[in-house]
Amino acid sequence: MDLFSKNNRILLKELIKTDFKLRYQGSAIGYLWSILKPLLMFTIMYLVFIRFLRLGGDVPHFAVALLLANVIWSFFSEATSMGMVSIVTRGDLLRKLNFSKQTIVLSAAMGALINFGINLIVVLVFALINGVTISWKIIFALPLFLELFILALGVGLLLATLFVKFRDLGQIWEVFLQAGMYATPIIYPISFVSNQNLMAAKVMMLNPMAQIIQDLRYILIDPANTTIWQMSDHWWYIIIPYLIPFMIFGIGLVVFNKSSKRFAEII
């Protein structure tokens, strides 16, 4: 069934609206948690890693870079975690309706994207307050946002397929996300690693999340943020992290489509 058919588009819209309404239902401040949650995490990281440990002192506006990276990682974490459980939590729909199963995972990623958009506005305001100059180069951020979404959706499709059979994956993925956050230049600049071990920094930048974060820091905040295309002259090395998200998406889509016919039976 066509994912972009009229019925699937209507279902996708309703799933996104329902998920967003239920996200903070019953909480005292409701939708404000979309802004407060990343800000609280940023405050803790800022006090510990910038004020106390003095990381990022050689990078202009590193406080803004920290907030931006935290928002990016929060989107990836939310989109993949919600995508992972989306098929299982929507088992009732699978048994009652005939529709493209990818719609469920896509709705989870789109819901996280709404939060991401709200948080980006907060980052922009914080950047302007801190004296960051926003130039026309901001338009180059759009392909990077697309790359980020494709990566999160691809991982979400893979996790959703596996989670139907292996429910322990939820705990494993939580640990992986925690480890991945520290292995990605979020709370520290990539220069902190490259100054000590250039090869380790080059390997770290093969991670698409590291590449996306550093590219967006370079474009939106300051060119002092080192990118993968500044670390090497070898084109084959540079394109690897840009290709990985699309490879993961392709694999995730094939695996998901192959397994989706049996989802209703297993759940």
Write down the pTM of the prediction: 0.89
CA distance linking residue 1 with residue 262, whole number of Å: 16
What was the pLDDT predicted at 77? 96
Residue 1 lies in a domain: no
Work out how many domains the chain is built from and give that number: 1
Residue 259 lies in a domain: yes
The answer to whether the CB of 72 falls within 8 A of the CB of 138 is no
What was the pLDDT predicted at 37? 74
CA distance linking residue 112 with residue 107, whole number of Å: 9
Mean pLDDT by 10 residues, the chain (267 residues): 66 82 64 73 76 70 90 95 92 75 92 91 89 88 97 97 93 96 91 90 96 96 90 92 97 94 77
CA distance linking residue 128 with residue 123, whole number of Å: 9
What was the pLDDT predicted at 180? 95
Residue 253 lies in a domain: yes
Residue 149 lies in a domain: yes
Find the domain containing 13 and state its range. Answer: 6-266
The answer to whether the CB of 88 falls within 8 A of the CB of 163 is yes
Residue 113 lies in a domain: yes
Residue 199 lies in a domain: yes
Determine the residue type at 163. F
What was the pLDDT predicted at 1? 46
Residue 244 lies in a domain: yes
